[in-house]
Structure 1
Amino acid sequence: MKSAWFILSALVAGMLLGIGIETVAPAAGAVSLPYIETVGLLWLKALTMTIIPLIVALLITGITATADAARAGALAARSVAIFLVAIFLTGLMSLLVTPFLLRLFPLSAAAAEALRHGLGGSVEAAPSPTFADFVLGLIPANPIAAAAETTVLPLIVFTTIFAFAMTRIAPEQRASLSMLFKALGETMLVVIGWVLALAPIGVFALGYALAIKAGVAAFGGLLHYVLILSGIGVCCVLLGILLAWAVVGVAPQRFIRAMIPTLAVALSTQSSLASLPAMLRSSTELGVDPKKADIVLPLAVALFRFTSPAMNLAVVVYIAWLFKVELTLWEMAVGLGVAMAAALSSVSLPGSISFVTSIAPIAVSMGVPVAPLGLLVAVETFPDIFRTLGNVIGDVAATKYAADGVENEPSGETP
């Protein structure tokens, strides 16, 4: 929390300084821009160098962890199936609702142009491939070359096939490979941690450059982004309550009443893990067998991030809208798949780190610029509140539904 507010403060300070210099001495702003912006771009380049290894590591660890969890018994298998369906629904909701919100509450053309210019200018659209080119491009002739050339879609296809093949080999061999890719992912997270330790410097420089290029309109653009993302967060919360009512069979009044202590903890900590004890009490109040809750809720905290696909896809869709990148149905389907895999990867991290590790692979897979993430991470503090609220609601609702559907398996072992 302190780190997130520190990064946000650095962004505001950089933008205020940039606006002040541009107002008082425009010539000084023009002279200083190349030097200060280079610092920010260098930091951003260091942040993006981890994307390809992360895509591979997250996909493999997410798929294998989900498969291993499903083998733990009927209750665990049912829980994993519920998690998959739920995150698919939230991701699909985001792909439908985010463009609607952008049409309903558009950013002014001047503010959008200023923000786009400040975040890197326009992006040249790649020529649309033919159907034959698209299909042939799904299978990489050389996966290593695909990684080197950042052709993400064939790399994702190969990695997914590889991960599912891992689930069919001998347990000891699967464990060795899983540890290798888990170590790769952990190593990349260490690198990202080092880079994000310098985030206040990098974000300050990027904020300064944004203000010099875009002026006061940059504040309005970032506020618009925060409101759109927060709107998707509210939709996730409402969807969780709706699913608890329509699918789980718990009336909204009863569900919200049971969730009040958990929501209070989630709001104050912005951590699903810290909310686990409160979630156990809320699930017991909803009539869940405590022995079953002890199995499903920790599994949910590790694997299930109800809001992640929706919120992460909303970030990518917003950037695509801002930079006028037309997303095809195929690209959105690929993005949804990557978002689901990222949501299932069992990594409990601070918001600033998970923002990059989860969203950058999605953006690359959909052909959307990654550079704006370096600034948008600074304002993630506010949407992150709704992420946590939606996650704990989804965790408890999924636990209730999973426990009600499995009888006489309190230990989680297969009968």
Structure 2
Amino acid sequence: MSQATRILLALVAGIALGIAAVAFDKDWALRVTGVTQPIGEAWLHGLQMVIVPLIVGLLVTGIAATAEAARAGRIAGRAVVLFVVVLWCTTLMSAMVMPVLLDLWPLPEAWSVALRSALTATAPLGKVPTLADFFATIVPTNVVAAASGDAFLPLTVFTLAFAFAITRLEDAARQRLTDLFQAITDAMLVIIGWVLKLAPIGIFALAYGVGARTGAAAFGALIHYIVMVSAIGLIVLLAAYPVARFAGGVPLRRFARAVAPAQAVAISTQSSLASLPAMLKGSAEIGVAPATAGIVLPVAVAIFRATSPAMNLAVALYVAHWLGVPIGPGQLAAGIATAAITTMGSVSLPGTVSFFASVAPVAFAMGVPIEALGLLVAVETVPDLFRTVGNVTMDVAVTGVVGKRD
């Protein structure tokens, strides 16, 4: 049984047991949450404790890899520029579309209230940050204080500047620092691997409390979440077709036929890397020279995830909606910037690790509690399908654009 299956079963079992326990004896069932809730929170804290060093390490090594790719030649440099443009465009799309989707199909208020009480006792409903607050806090006065206070956007801005500064050093010094941060990242991934081995226990404990306090509303909310976040991934996937048509000059039917085998591999493996041979073949079918595709696609697989910032921001916005946290212009701007900047640092991570490493900084930057992520990771398998297929489709589309101008 895969780890993802064990996690999903733990989620379903925890919610179901909580519902059954309340039906049997409500007072006793709620008293049990006094034991299960601390267990679940301790597991969640185990993931939280490595996020700061992991994000710093991933950003430094990710920027180093991006800079190396840009220096590798004209084709790779052009591809990197297009990747950045696509990432920011999809993030802005998510910021505009996700609130509209939530307005059109909101989570039922009764479910939202029940889940809010089950997941967090103190939702941050204070002053909603404005755009002026965003610009006033984006540059940290004390990077250590920013790290200790989970101020991820200022920390990300400093780390980004630090990472680009490293790329300007002489080769020996640059390699030493990059190797250091790669080692830090590898060590954090080992710790996360240990914590994730306990994921079925932690998620079961969290899910029991949610089931006991909310009943069947928990299952309905999870289905609602899957549909809403997957819709953002689907939009990014569909956007690849006009990108290929209007920017790459590839007829839609030809592009659809060429990319279909890579999409099939992506669905079956949930891996962009495993889809690379099919992507190379599809790129050739739309007229991209093998030499160009042989440069662009490996770089895309290494540093580019078209759906990640859009879907990561969508998750944070969904949790805010779920918990009733108001999102002002400053918070939204912080979420957009954090999602777009951090995505290149987590592209090589396994799905479960990537979910926490990518979404938690966005949630922190927006002031959104992350307790719900412990439950949402258990149903990430379905949205992850849209992530992978969207990434593969956009990779081939961008390759077509680069190939047209080669």
Q: Give the corresponding residue for 1:201.
A: 201
- CA, structure 1 residues 113+130, in 2 after alignment: closer, same or farther (shift >3 Å)? closer
- CA, structure 1 residues 18+92, in 2 after alignment: closer, same or farther (shift >3 Å)? same
- CA, structure 1 residues 393+123, in 2 after alignment: closer, same or farther (shift >3 Å)? same
Query: 1:115-140 CA deviation, whole Å, 9 max, x = no partner?
Result: 22222245123435688766554443
User: Which ranges in structure 1 are unaligned for 5 or more consecutive residues?
Assistant: 407-415
Query: 1:362-394 CA deviation, whole Å, 9 max, x = no partner?
Result: 111221112211111001011111111101001
Whether the 8 Å contact between 1:90 and 1:236 is mirrored in structure 2 is yes
Whether the 8 Å contact between 2:59 and 2:159 is mirrored in structure 1 is yes
Query: 1:337-367 CA deviation, whole Å, 9 max, x = no partner?
Result: 2222332126423211111111111111221
- Alpha-carbon distance between aligned partners in 1 of 2:339 and 2:364, rounded to the nearest angstrom: 12
* Correspondence 1:8-407 to 2 at 5 A: 8-128=8-128, 135-345=135-345, 347-406=347-406
**Alignment RMSD (CA, Å):** 1.8
Whether the 8 Å contact between 1:313 and 1:359 is mirrored in structure 2 is yes
171-180 or 209-218, larger mean C-alpha shift? 171-180
Query: 1:6-59 CA deviation, whole Å, 9 max, x = no partner?
Result: 211110011111111111221220221111121111101111111211232222
- Alpha-carbon distance between aligned partners in 1 of 2:56 and 2:4, rounded to the nearest angstrom: 27
243-252 or 126-135, larger mean C-alpha shift? 126-135
- CA, structure 1 residues 121+102, in 2 after alignment: closer, same or farther (shift >3 Å)? farther
Whether the 8 Å contact between 2:312 and 2:359 is mirrored in structure 1 is yes
User: Which ranges in structure 2 are unaligned for 5 or more consecutive residues?
Assistant: none
Q: CA deviation at 1:217?
A: 0.9
Whether the 8 Å contact between 1:280 and 1:293 is mirrored in structure 2 is yes
Number of aligned residues: 406
- CA, structure 1 residues 130+374, in 2 after alignment: closer, same or farther (shift >3 Å)? closer
User: Given the two structures, how large is their TM-score scaled by the length of structure 2?
Assistant: 0.95
Query: 1:224-274 CA deviation, whole Å, 9 max, x = no partner?
Result: 111101111211111112211222122221111111211111111111111
- CA, structure 1 residues 121+223, in 2 after alignment: closer, same or farther (shift >3 Å)? farther
- CA, structure 1 residues 339+151, in 2 after alignment: closer, same or farther (shift >3 Å)? closer
Amino acid at match of 2:283: S
- Alpha-carbon distance between aligned partners in 2 of 1:78 and 1:345, rounded to the nearest angstrom: 19
111-120 or 307-316, larger mean C-alpha shift? 111-120
Q: Give the corresponding residue for 1:412.
A: none
Amino acid at match of 2:368: V
- Alpha-carbon distance between aligned partners in 1 of 2:133 and 2:344, rounded to the nearest angstrom: 31
Whether the 8 Å contact between 2:325 and 2:368 is mirrored in structure 1 is yes
- CA, structure 1 residues 262+153, in 2 after alignment: closer, same or farther (shift >3 Å)? closer
